[in-house]
Structure 1
């Protein structure tokens, strides 16, 4: 519990740093609000027993309840965050951290803003949150794709518009399953033509640097008939220029199965070994009741500073190398 609170507190600090305000939504919603919003994952929604009143269900995520909240209260512009439990009627996989009840941390920007400013800000928020925990995992990648790019790829490959959502839900499994399994599902279960599936593979599995992937897509003339595709390519070129040093990777196989995605899609992957270190190292520090932790990362070395974290108060100091001795002397004498 203590470890969870430390993580949640750090994430909350980042959300507030970027000017977001907290709102809360009920754990349950009208069932009609939730169904048909999550594609094939709608089967994972927990229905509540009908006691003669309105049909209710436990929230599947925090995004759809947020949309309902804004509609109910006529909210047209807001930057908000919410950290709360969500529920999915899924098979738990403890070794992979998949539970039927778990926390989600949402950061949302609603309203009209300057071009790309919201997408860039979301990426900065993600990067800042991960940097707060870089003592425990230094290797992470923010994978991005655009629904317009994916739609153009699938349409050019021969997928009917009505089948795009179900194809996306299969492609979304590529981070857990090899291509051959996904291919078999598309052909045998979803009845997609073999030639169409092969064309999809040739496009979505292309890899390289962000610039190489952009160039690869630009050379595919069959994609340019979709004006939304050209707009998405232009957006990514700007984002990669603005956030040149961030750990962002264009991943054409990133799909996300939820039906409400229309623009840029984000997903973070973390080195498995480093992620395990997050739990083990932090547990060691907490159990041993170590009062201070000294942090020396790439940023500290580059700037000639040391980060010292007060584990009890969850507060972090940043001091120069030559101030370390006097810092700890002041603590000993106090």
Structure 2
């Protein structure tokens, strides 16, 4: 008779089972992105769950920054990654600009005797963190939010995601490990199986995804432990709480240039719509700007589209702005070089500051 496996699913709690599954998926993704020589990873909240402990091998060779609000949690996280990791103690998880070390340094150089000297210190700190934030703009190629969205007040989630967006490199990725509910939960509570600590706030799946959309991310994808009925780690009343990782990218902002390009969606869906409102119908040549073309050729869309360049494609430095009045479908003669394409007029050009596609 075969003896049972020591670490079978039956012996694991729901929390442990789901965390192990998500950690495995995250490890695969981190190993893929860490192939670049200058990989930089910001891990926010790494001292809280066991997610970091199960992914240290995937961080080998990367420049790692650990951030949290508690010294004890930071020490634990650094003991897992090693002395090479940078650590930043934040005042709160939703603000990656202000760190304790910067504040203490400013305080030591300012004698606070009255309200005027306090206001001087406050202005000094404001200028300090505006110019040299604790985590610099665009520093991280990968940002891991280790249940950070559950540890802050719901009203702080937009700020946290805005900060994650700010510190993310243009083509970087955010991996947000989170607890989500299938129905609204009125208040924070102690999730069964979760590490000791304050009560957690659990948003609905839809609410958290909308927050990512509003923060400006694209290619937002939810990863569950399984494709069919992922295991609930807890239930409060009639509400099921599950664990997931949300993967999201930065890079759709910026000017749009006309290079005569098109993309064709392969399927299997009849049509899909991206985060900028473009609709791609299966088998149709959709006209896109250079920025959108590049996005469709890399993760997370890579392999879903055929990229069609124009044989008359000019150098990007010489390209005109994309015309917002360009027909949705690209004439095949344009990509074959048998018909010209024109850039935008002043009245029809995409806004070069924010772009329109």
Q: TM-score range by the shorter chain?
A: under 0.3
Which one scores higher on RCO, CA 8 angstroms, separation ≥ 6? Answer: 1
TM-score by length of 2: 0.24
TM-score by length of 1: 0.25
